[in-house]
Structure 1
């Protein structure tokens, strides 16, 4: 089924004010969400979710039309309500339809992991990101200092394989910080993405997923749906490209840079989770 651009545009024009014309490319397609980008901002269309200014919730039948059109053509002219997205800008490099399914692979060798950690820690560029907990000096930021203590307890639980104490630390991590996606939630995303990709700590994975689904109120809607998509088998393309390319023969350095530049601190917070999961496998 193919839908005329005008059908989509007329719907948005009719329902939203301050319309700006822009050409968008399909960035990624999930079961209930289509993400478009114009290389500066991400614009989501969904039939049932309406959790941020970047998302427009539309009728299911129109979503189905857009869904089919997007699969066929990869680009679309949209009229959309203009909002100042400058604070949330993110540069995205891929405009084609992409495979966002988690790829399950074997854990790299210790040498590869050691090199990967070295590259990550030498790529730090954001003093407000949680990744600074790995620095030898004491963090000056109060939030990072507090999370460093939480992180110490988290790693002790993993090292002791203490699942019984895991619930308490999840209570401290979930919703920790501020922003569109709190730092603790992004950290948890990095942890879970790494565990699932390398099939690590299955008992902790099951508990984490159960905790997220049963405690939606601990997360804001953006974080919850980001984590829920991971539970359902979808993964951030940048995170996926980092995890599946941890070897000297593959270029993951550019992907690390892309991730660290994602959001205000989100990329660094996610990478903190990735490093923690790999170091405490």
Structure 2
């Protein structure tokens, strides 16, 4: 097997250290590996977007059909991975390096869009959540934010009802939002700990939502020339107490998101949202991100939407 891309940080780490690991979880188009330091490495099919600590393959293959299973051992070398039990080598000696860093206006030659156009795209994002987003995840909880956050009226659909599951988390969710709005660094870790892990799947709905909020703060702090250290401080407060509160995959996602590091489709969504990109290009990435998982994409877009409304208003 041949890799087309590898995360730059991961590649540099593999040049310094000899890693060993075992398969953590297997899907048709991807599988995750946990190394000896308890960190995840993701192997992706060619149609998946690059992400932090990931390796993308050129071949479209079903990893389930290949017999990949949880617990199978593998070893990393300078330019290839050896899966012992499958007798498979994945070579990345010619793979392109992918940088996981966020596309910030201070770092790259990216033209800011006008505030008027950013609000227009934000309105489109809200309409997209309501009309095309998945309603089984975090979306029902958004109506509980009525009166708390300015500008979210377009997504407040009275036909979307809270189930017992949302009622269970409602007060804790609102307590977190209150601490976030006040930017209370001491209180945020306590409130986020109470809601992280809510939902089902490798990345539960609330975790995807919080990832979207954190990413929006990083990018909008760059767009608005706000104090970037403050953005990092608030995001770090959100993830301060997440150890063993959610899945390992989600825990890693949250830590990367707190630094604005996300997969390339979410990164492109944020760049087209705030830069001088067309509405059509922005909508294309809304569609791409919304296709993640069962509800993960919509949940993350919802976090981006709420986080953006808070900072822009």
TM range (shorter): 0.5 to 0.7
What displacement does 1:197 show?
A: 2.3
Q: Does 1:168 align with 2:190?
A: yes
What is the correspondence of 1:181-260 to structure 2 with a 5 Å cutoff? 181-199=203-221, 202-203=229-230, 205-210=232-237, 212-231=239-258, 234-246=261-273, 249-250=277-278, 251-260=281-290
Report if the CA contact (8 A) 2:235-2:258 is conserved.
Answer: no
Q: Does 1:136 align with 2:144?
A: no
Q: How many residues align?
A: 231
Q: CA separation in 1, counterparts of 2:114 and 2:177? A: 21
Q: CA separation in 1, counterparts of 2:72 and 2:237? A: 28
1:269 partner SS: helix
More deviation, 141-150/115-124: 141-150
Aligned to 1:119: 124
Higher helix share: 1
CA-based RMSD: 3.5
Aligned to 1:105: 105
Aligned to 1:43: 31
Structure 1 unaligned spans of 5+: 6-23, 35-39, 75-96
Aligned to 2:24: none
Q: Normalising by structure 1, report the TM-score.
A: 0.67
1:202-258 Cα shifts (integer Å, max 9, x gaps): 436324325525531122100111122334663211111011112563311011111
2:122 partner SS: helix
Aligned to 1:37: none
Q: Does 1:266 align with 2:280?
A: no
Q: Normalising by structure 2, report the TM-score.
A: 0.61
Q: CA separation in 1, counterparts of 2:3 and 2:219? A: 28
2:102 partner SS: coil
Aligned to 2:9: 31
1:36-70 Cα shifts (integer Å, max 9, x gaps): xxxx61234564457696896632xx343227942
What displacement does 1:186 show?
A: 1.0
What displacement does 1:101 show?
A: 1.6
Structure 2 unaligned spans of 5+: 15-27, 43-68, 82-89, 107-111, 143-154
Report if the CA contact (8 A) 2:8-2:99 is conserved.
Answer: no
